Chain A
Amino acid sequence: MSTGLALVADGLGKRYGSKWALRDCTLEIPTGSVTALVGPNGAGKTTLLQLAVGLAEPTTGSVRVLDCSPRADAQAMLPRIGFVAQEHPLYRGLTVRETLDLGRQLNPGWDEALASERIERVGLAARQKVGKLSGGQQAQVALTLALAKRPELLLLDEPVASLDPLARREFLTSVMEVVAERGITVVLSSHIVADLERVCDHLIILSHARTQLAGPIEEIVSSHRLLTGPRSDPAAVARVHNVVRASHTERQTTLLVQANGHVYDSSWELHDVDLEEIVLAYMGQREEVAA
């Protein structure tokens, strides 16, 4: 039954009116991984997640989640996934307790012990109105609602974007603890790269509605190199390696490349690059090409 893949997208595309929100998206997310979906605002992260949970329907291609088609097999898929939408929408008029009751009524697999224990641990009173909670607390309520379903796959859309650094750290810690306890698969989107390297093991970079790069973070970091050398045409390097970004000063050329094996050319000085720099390079790539 299990293919070892929690999510498979094949040529997935979504168009709203005449604008493509996501295009030609082909990727695989392995079971048990913690995958970061990174890209600037409007890159298609939300669209990809909404297609995955069945909120939106693909214009082209297909997506399969836990071996289910999100729309056609919704009844089978929904109990197995947990989803926290952007801005973690909640019924503001309900209390924390009533929100959990709602979760119990809507989910046959609801784990009440887990839910109440989590709420207590993050220091929330059951009788507080959800609308009166801080952003971080609301995010924790939304996460609890998603986790008490005991999902196999947790999808989080910009879960920490609106949170202050402390709440952001607490939220990610909560998610990581669940991963440690239950080994669930997590996909989380973010436009902030900081924190992700610690938390995630896989990375998907989306930009301009397309997938720019996908893979295990370790491989991504180890395969990318920054080359500096006297000013020259990067064409020679580009024949062997994938040049992600090239910049020139009067005398010097700096290339960020995805190395295809070793870089032997001794005219270049090699440097390691960190994840943030790689992500930024890919995010900027298309704009430069277009400009």
Chain B
Amino acid sequence: MIRAGWRLQRTETLVTAGMLAALALLLIPTGLQMSSAYHHDGLSACLSPNASFGCGRAVESFMSRFSGIYSLAGWFNFVPALAGVLLAAPFLLELEQGTFRLAWTQSITRGRWIAGKLGLAIGVALSAALILTLLITWWRTPFVHLQGRMGANVYDFEGTVVFGYALFPLGLAAALGAVWRRAVPALIVSFGVYVGVRVFFDSWVRQRLVAPLTATWKAKTSGPDLSHAWVLAEGPSGPSGHIIPFHIGPCFPGRPRCTLNPPGHYMHAVYHPASHFWPLQGIETAIFAGVALVLLAFAAWWTHERVA
């Protein structure tokens, strides 16, 4: 079963591997450049705790040199989704083209066939997620030193969430395709739903998974270190911590709440510190992977019981 299933999933596995290879081809040379720039331009030295000089200029030049390539990172979000959706294709094509009638009347039961088929897809999806995580984690190392891991472009590729991001579209496509029995539309819709869910999750759900910290401090004193944190809100406030909306721009009489004269001289911030990285990752991974497993179980059950 494993060998047969492997052959039937070969194209999709190769395309996934090809995507990762193309990504590696892009990331490895730039990663090496960044790494060497980071070490030779004195960044690593000035960022160490006992550095005697500031990093301002070195960071600025590093960022201006690599921010172009770095901004590409957002697009890498499509990679686990494409891999997940793609790896559902052999299962869906089997149902759409009726070859399951061939497979299920060989000498193995349909239960084993479904388990083997989905198991292989899950295995390859997880492997692809692992490779993607390792690759981007390595590539991003200098930026992590500079900015931490809480920014969306980093958080989405480090830790464990990528496993969830790869499994979720796979499960979605499998469940949708099992019921719908049309492969290509099911794959496209799954991909679209995945993108929608991710946008909603990144912009609204994620920050609420763990209660963020709040801090209020007197302006012009040093507040909490927010350089590696995910800052949800920050601004001048009253002593009680109410952020006061203010206008950016010239101040003139009649325009209230102008920054030139912040009342109370307090600052307030709502943020997830770097220490929230793993709790957030854990919860988010559990949600995506959990939903994916439920969807996969549903696809398997439906196919086992309802397809003839």
Contacts and interface: CB of A to CB of B under 8 A. Distances in A.
Interface of A: 50, 53-57, 74-75, 78-79, 81-83, 85, 87, 89-94, 98, 101-103, 105-109, 142, 145, 149
Interface in B80-123: 97-99, 101-110
B1 A90 contact: no
Given A50-B308, A94-B7, A102-B7, A89 B105 contact: no
Contacts of B109: 74-75, 78
Contact of B107 (A90, A91, A94, A149): A149
Contacts of A93: 11
Interface of B: 1, 3-4, 7-8, 11, 97-99, 101-110, 308
Contacts of B97: 89, 92
B106 A55 contact: no
B4 A106 contact: yes
12 contacts: A54-B104, A78-B108, A89-B101, A90-B99, A91-B8, A91-B102, A94-B7, A98-B7, A106-B103, A106-B106, A106-B108, A145-B102
Nearest to B8: A91
A277 to B, nearest CB: 34
Given A83-B105, A90-B102, 7 more contacts: A74-B109, A82-B105, A92-B97, A102-B4, A106-B4, A107-B107, A109-B107
A37 to B, nearest CB: 17
B101 A149 contact: no
A89 B104 contact: no
A177 B104 CA distance: 26
B92 to A, nearest CB: 14
**Nearest 9 A-B pairs (CB), nearest first?**
A106-B106, A56-B308, A85-B101, A83-B105, A79-B107, A89-B98, A107-B107, A105-B4, A89-B99
Contacts of B107: 78-79, 106-109, 149
B7 A85 contact: no
Nearest to B94: A91
Nearest to A78: B107
B7 A101 contact: yes
Contacts of B3: 105
Contacts of B11: 93
Contacts of A85: 98, 101-102, 105
Contacts of B105: 53-55, 78, 81-83, 85
Given A75-B109, A78-B109, A93-B11, A55 B101 contact: yes
Contact of A103 (B1, B98, B106): B106
Contacts of B99: 89-91
A105 B1 contact: yes
Given A91-B8, A98-B7, A105-B3, A142 B102 contact: yes
B101 A106 contact: no
Contacts of A102: 4, 7-8
Nearest to A109: B107
A56 B104 CA distance: 11
Contact of B308 (A55, A83, A94, A149): A55
Q: Which among B3, B109, B308 has the highest number of chain A CB atoms within 10 Å? A: B308
Contacts of B4: 101-102, 105-106
Contacts of B7: 94, 98, 101-102
A160 B3 CA distance: 31
Nearest to A102: B4
Nearest to A106: B106
A148 to B, nearest CB: 11
